[in-house]
């Protein structure tokens, strides 16, 4: 019988690893991808959708080409993993056996991390931090906000998916409001001392949206916040603020199935070896993308895709005898601040003794000219088209 690989989660990491193993092994490996949704809506560029630069439909990708590569795509939830028997249980009641398992379920939210908020409140105070309809809801709320109203973002503590994501979102919300509701205000409540691309965002907000954005960091109570969805209030260090739209981005942990499978530790993330993303809990299991704790790589779609290619190469090598190459990883995160004003941060990574380490890095500079910023923005569009083709075929 053919060796069997099961992949849980058809996102940036899981989609890539399934497609690459099937494509490169030419049918020698039996690959099953378990993913409940029939369409994957990328979180990347969902901020550009909020800003009016990208269509919602352009965020959506189906699994047809992955299936045509020879992957058995099963639209269902994985609800348990029996690591002794090497089987995955599905919500339908079926069970699928594996020789190697890849777990790539993305994130879940830490319950109680923002007092007053849980997922039952996500219609009143959306997170828009997992793919799909939440971004549509948040856009609707922004467009219907009262004149001169306040948009509040409760930003997450580290580590979380897409470090520059909240800053890019504020930029895109400011872009819309400066055109449609110029007396509106944006309030960021942030538990972190500092955040990714901070100097670039602050410079951009001052230039494009002067006076619109205020950030309350931990020194002023940004780490002591409670929300009241029914009355649309945010309580910051005991002080009650009335807000009109509230985007709560809670603290995060590995997608729940990683925990159910016994792959996470006390941090809530799944520790892996830096050389190949193999679980530290089980040599037949790999965890990749946001759910993994691997070291220096940010939780991004680019990182997940890069890690997935390393995992695909290793699994194929172990199951078919093909050559295994030393791991090389890379990432770039682009952000749009205003029309044609794009910035980026990125690095190349290798396996260190204990974790993945950065070996070279780069970041856009403050004060760059408009032409360079436009080039950076255009580069990001090329990246988007390239990565979705690489994941979904
Ligand atoms: P995901 O892509 O989330 O995929 C996980 C999949 O697993 C999902 O499809 C889910 O349905 C499935 N799943 C979960 N549980 C189960 C289960 N039990 N059974 C079966 N399936 C399951 N990254 C970038 O590189 N560039 C960007 O510009 C960028 N911008 C972003 C902007 C925003 C606003 C946000 C929120 C994120 C952004 N990201 C960006 C981050 C990027 O979206 C994530 O890091 C990336 O999607 C992680 O890939 P993943 O495969 O780990 O998880």
d(CA 61, ligand 1 centre) in Å: 13
Predicted local confidence at residue 132, as pLDDT: 86
Predicted local confidence at residue 213, as pLDDT: 98
Predicted local confidence at residue 309, as pLDDT: 98
Predicted local confidence at residue 64, as pLDDT: 98
Pocket test for ligand 1, best of 17, 32, 38, 43 (most atoms within 8 A of CB): 43
Verify whether ligand 1 is closer than 6 Å to residue 106 (CB atom). Answer: yes
d(CA 11, ligand 1 centre) in Å: 6
d(CA 273, ligand 1 centre) in Å: 21
Predicted local confidence at residue 131, as pLDDT: 83
Verify whether ligand 1 is closer than 6 Å to residue 44 (CB atom). Answer: yes
The list of the chain residues with pLDDT below 50 reads none
Predicted local confidence at residue 17, as pLDDT: 98
Verify whether ligand 1 is closer than 6 Å to residue 163 (CB atom). Answer: no
What is the Cβ-side half-sphere exposure of residue 171, based on CA atoms within 13 angstroms?
31
């Amino acid at each position: 019988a053919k060796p069997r690989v099961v992949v849980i989660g058809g996102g940036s990491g899981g989609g890539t690893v399934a497609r690459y193993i099937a494509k490169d092994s030419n049918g020698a490996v039996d690959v099953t991808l378990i993913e409940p949704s029939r369409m994957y809506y990328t979180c990347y560029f969902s901020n550009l959708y909020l800003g009016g630069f990208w269509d919602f439909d352009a965020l959506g990708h189906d699994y047809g080409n992955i299936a045509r590569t020879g992957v058995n795509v099963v639209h269902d939830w994985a609800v348990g993993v029996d690591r002794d028997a090497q089987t995955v249980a599905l919500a339908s009641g079926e069970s699928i056996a594996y020789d190697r398992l890849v777990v790539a379920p993305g994130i879940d939210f830490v319950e109680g991390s923002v007092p007053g908020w849980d997922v039952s409140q996500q219609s009143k105070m959306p997170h828009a931090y997992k793919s799909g309809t939440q971004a549509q809801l948040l856009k609707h709320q922004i467009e219907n906000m009262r004149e001169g109203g306040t948009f509040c973002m409760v930003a997450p503590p580290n580590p979380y998916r897409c470090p520059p994501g909240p800053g890019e979102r504020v930029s895109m919300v400011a872009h819309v409001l400066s055109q449609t509701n110029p007396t509106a205000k944006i309030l960021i409540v942030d538990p972190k001392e500092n955040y990714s691309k901070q100097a670039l965002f602050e410079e951009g907000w001052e230039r494009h949206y002067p006076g619109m954005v205020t950030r309350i960091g931990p020194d002023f109570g940004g780490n002591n916040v409670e929300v009241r969805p029914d009355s649309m209030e945010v309580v910051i260090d005991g002080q009650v603020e009335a807000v009109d739209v509230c985007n709560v981005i809670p603290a995060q942990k590995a997608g729940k199935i990683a925990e159910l499978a016994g792959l996470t530790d006390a941090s809530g993330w799944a520790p892996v070896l830096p050389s190949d993303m193999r679980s530290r809990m089980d040599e037949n299991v790999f965890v990749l993308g946001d759910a993994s704790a691997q070291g220096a790589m940010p939780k991004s779609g680019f990182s997940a895709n890069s890690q997935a290619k390393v995992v695909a190469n290793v699994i194929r090598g172990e199951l078919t005898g093909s050559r295994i190459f030393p791991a090389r990883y890379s990432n770039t995160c682009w952000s749009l601040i205003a029309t044609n004003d794009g910035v980026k941060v990125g690095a190349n990574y290798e396996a260190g003794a204990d974790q993945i380490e950065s070996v070279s890095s780069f970041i856009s500079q403050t004060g760059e000219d408009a032409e360079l910023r436009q080039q950076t923005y255009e580069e990001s569009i090329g990246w988007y088209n390239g990565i979705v083709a690489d994941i979904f075929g």
